[in-house]
Amino acid sequence: MLNAWTGAQIRAAEAPRLDAGAGDALMRRAAHGLAGAALALLDARRRPRYGARVVALAGSGNNGGDALWAAALLARRGLRPAAILVADRAHEPGLADVHAAGGDVVRLADDDASTDAARRLLADADVVIDGILGTGASGGLREPAAGLAAHLEDLRRTGVVTVLACDIASGIDADTGEAPGEHVTADATATFGGAKVGHLAGAGEAARGTLTVVPLGIEADLPDPDLRRLQTAELRALWPTPARSAQKYSRGVLGVVAGSAQYPGAALLTTAAAAAAGVGMVRYLGPEAVGGLINARTPDAVCSAQQPGDVHVQAWLVGPGTNDDEAQLDRVRTALAAAVRTGTPAVVDAGGMSVLPEQGAAHLVLTPHAGELARLLSDRHAADGAAVERSDVEARPLHHARLAARITGCTVLLKGATTLVAGPDGTAFSQADATPWLSTAGSGDVLAGILGAVLAGVAEHPRAFDDRGLGGDVRWAAAAAVAASLHGRAGRTAARDPEGTGAGGPIHATAVIDALAAAVRDVLAG
């Protein structure tokens, strides 16, 4: 599990040490970690260490102190240090050490001469350490740092310099990952004491590069994390693997209300995905014509035009492709009412979100993309009557996912390059296992099917969640995170994009279904 905390949580754990006078010791530890990360970056890029130019960008706070001390330490390893001070004040001992190491220092102001001098230093740099703002910052970068950051990004994109963020890319909010304005983009980040929420959500995910956590010795005093990311070990433990004595009913029956005579595609994809994920049985409820099409692709699905009250299931999947069909929407309403009454978990996708019960529950998992979440929040007057736009959700995804979970009482899985899951109690997960090739029509229907299969298996495997501190209502958010991760991994496998960088090539939703078994096997094999 990769755990992440807010800046305030980390600073609170540090506070007793600072009060006891250990501030310098902590900062030196951070600087050593930063210096090691800078050397690793040079090595990875096959650039020689000796004579390499390291430039620390230093703001007024402790983040700047870390960067200055790191630059001074790197002078001892043969690098040529320099510093650009972007604020009126700088950490005095750090600055003194850069001077003592023979480093060039430029103080950036709003004039052409200092801007030119700073740009000359950057153009000569091999590695730039971004210590402008850390966890103590509020609001985005201001001038003159904002202009320097934009120029730095031009140099980074064209391969002139490598950027190492100190703690967090400056301009990214450590508590949310939001970027209120200009921000630094890093190739790597060395963070201290624990990952920050801002590394795993919003703009912060793409701005951080490779993340290294440098221990500070405060780890035992950290509270429960604010945000979590499941990794292979958790996925292996939580994926519904059949027991020796399993039979189809113990593995779980998934009731699916999806598609319509006019739009059967969503029903075909979502049932095929659930079947591929290894659910015990799929029971499809809907028009006979759609059932026939489903059986041509997925003969193992049991299709009928029955009502939800007539069948016994371990989980529901409702909503994909049902928008225009009143009879299907009626089935969705009935299934959701039964799910709330009986505690049966349900995936509520697409059209299902327009017929939510008044009182939701954590075991109902909504799966909106940013546009659908904006509509849901607008319908619920979340912004005091003002409409919430898709762009609002994209700019503040974690905030809006948590808001929707609180307002609806349901678990909310917000789809995107990073998928965020929020429970009504504020629990949150972040998974970024996808590939940009997954942004294709029908991809969401596949995710809904996989999630349905995972939810149907939860009842058989409660201990798996309890044993990892993910019991109670948190299990629904954790199960949603499992499904998002496997969906992303299947997408990477299908696209042949193992790192999720956008390498490989195009895929369509069916290819993701076909790659699912291999992705699950990889996870189970560790």
Ligand X SMILES: NC(=O)C1=CN([C@@H]2O[C@H](COP(=O)(O)OP(=O)(O)OC[C@H]3O[C@@H](n4cnc5c(N)ncnc54)[C@H](O)[C@@H]3O)[C@@H](O)[C@H]2O)[C@@H](O)CC1
Ligand Y SMILES: Nc1ncnc2c1ncn2[C@@H]1O[C@H](COP(=O)(O)OP(=O)(O)O)[C@@H](O)[C@H]1O
Q: Checking phi first, is residue 368 left (phi over 0); if not, alpha (psi -120 to 50) or beta?
A: beta
61 forms part of the interface with ligand X (CB under 6 A): yes
Instruction: Show Cβ contacts of residue 103 under 8 Å, excluding neighbours closer than 6 positions.
Output: 71, 72, 75, 80, 81, 82, 83
Q: Of 11-19, 275-283, 395-403, 408-416, which segment contacts ligand X by CB under 6 A?
A: 11-19
260 binds ligand Y (CB under 6 A): no
Q: Does 80 bind ligand Y (CB under 6 A)?
A: no
Residue nearest to K ion (CB): 170
418 appears as a binding residue in the annotation: yes
Secondary structure of the chain: what % helix, strand, coil (to 5)? 45, 15, 40
Please, are residues 83 and 91 in contact by the beta-carbon 8 Å criterion? no
Task: List binders of ligand Y among 114-143 (CB under 6 A).
Answer: none
Interaction between residue 130 and K ion (CB under 5 A) = yes
Burial bucket for residue 193 (CB in 10 Å: 0-12, 13-18, 19+)? buried
Contact set for ligand X, span 13-52 (CB under 6 A): 14, 18, 23, 26-27, 30
Please tell me whether 137 is known to bind a ligand: yes
Using CB under 5 A, which of the segments 158-166, 254-262, 280-288, 358-366 binds K ion?
158-166
Contacted entry of ligand X, K ion, ligand Y, none for residue 170, CB cut-off 5 to 8 Å set by kind: K ion
Q: How far is the CB of 238 from ligand Y (least distance, A)?
A: 18
Residue 137's binding partner out of ligand X, ligand Y, K ion, none, with CB under 5 to 8 Å set by partner kind: ligand X
**130 interface partner picked from ligand X, ligand Y, K ion, none, CB below 5 to 8 A per type:** K ion
310 Cβ neighbours under 8 A, 6+ residues apart:
none
Place of tokens 């049902």: 322
Least distance in angstroms from the C-beta of 438 to ligand Y: 4
Residue 441 binds which one of K ion, ligand X, ligand Y, none, with CB within 5 to 8 A depending on kind?
ligand Y
Please say whether the beta carbons of 124 and 103 come within 8 A: no
136 marked as binding residue = yes
* Alpha helix positions (H), 45-131: 62-75, 92-100, 112-123
Which two structure tokens, joined as six digits, stand for 53? Answer: 């130019």
Site for ligand X in 163-192 (CB under 6 A): 166-167, 192
C-alpha triplet 402, 406, 408: angle, nearest 5°: 115
- The answer to whether 501 is a known ligand-binding residue is no
Least distance in angstroms from the C-beta of 203 to ligand X: 15
Q: Which does 442 bind (CB under 5 to 8 A by kind): ligand Y, K ion, ligand X, none?
A: ligand Y
**Residue 48, Cβ density class (10 Å: 0-12 exposed, 13-18 middle, ≥19 buried):** exposed
Q: Cα 463 from chain centroid?
A: 26
The sheet that has 80-85: what strands, in order across it?
104-107, 80-85, 53-58, 127-131, 162-166, 188-192, 210-214
Structure-token pair, residue 66: 């870390």
Q: Does 318 bind ligand Y (CB under 6 A)?
A: no
The gap between the terminal CA atoms of the chain, to the nearest Å, is 14
From candidates 321, 416, 449, 457, binder to ligand Y by CB under 6 A: 416
Annotated binding residue 360: no
**CB 491, min distance to ligand Y, A:** 7
With beta carbons less than 8 A apart as the criterion, state whether 507 and 434 touch.
no
Per this entry, what is the length of the chain? 526
ω into residue 320 within 30 of 0, thus cis?
no
Cis peptide before 144 (omega within 30 of 0): yes
Show contacts with ligand Y in window 365-404 (CB under 6 A): 369
CB of 96 to ligand X, least distance (A): 16
Q: Position 117: which residue type? A: A
- 63 marked as part of a ligand binding site: yes
d(CA 521, CA 73): 46
Select from 72-80, 194-202, 415-423, 474-482 the region that touches ligand Y (CB under 6 A). Answer: 415-423
Residue 372 C-beta: closest distance to ligand Y, Å: 8
The answer to whether residues 408 and 381 touch, using CB atoms and an 8 Å cutoff, is: no
Residue 134's nearest CA partner among 189, 200, 69, 77 is 189
Span from 57-65, 122-130, 256-264, 380-388 in contact with ligand X (CB under 6 A): 57-65
Q: Give residue 385's region: left, alpha or beta (phi > 0; psi -120 to 50).
A: left
Q: What part of residues 433-452 is at the interface with ligand Y (CB under 6 A)?
A: 434-436, 438-439, 441-445, 447
Number of residues that bind ligand Y (CB under 6 A): 17
- Which CB atom, from 146 or from 410, has the smaller least distance to ligand X? 146
Taking CB under 5 A as the rule, does residue 57 contact K ion?
Answer: no
Beta bridge partners of 283: 255, 302
Taking the least distance from each CB to ligand X, the nearer of 38 and 133 is 133
Ligand-binding annotation for 170, yes or no, is yes
- Least separation, in Å, of the C-beta of 222 and ligand X? 14
* Burial class, 266, CB count within 10 angstroms (exposed 0-12 / middle 13-18 / buried 19+): buried
Contact positions with ligand Y (CB under 6 A) in 472-491 = 487
Q: Which residues are annotated as a binding site for AMP?
A: 415-419, 444
Residues that bind ligand Y (CB under 6 A): 369, 415-417, 419, 434-436, 438-439, 441-445, 447, 487
Residues that bind ligand X (CB under 6 A): 11, 14, 18, 23, 26-27, 30, 59-63, 66, 133-139, 142, 166-167, 192
Residues that bind K ion (CB under 5 A): 130, 166, 170
Q: Which residues are annotated as a binding site for (6S)-NADPHX?
A: 62-66, 134-140, 167, 266, 321, 369, 445
Q: Which residues are annotated as a binding site for K(+)?
A: 63, 130, 170
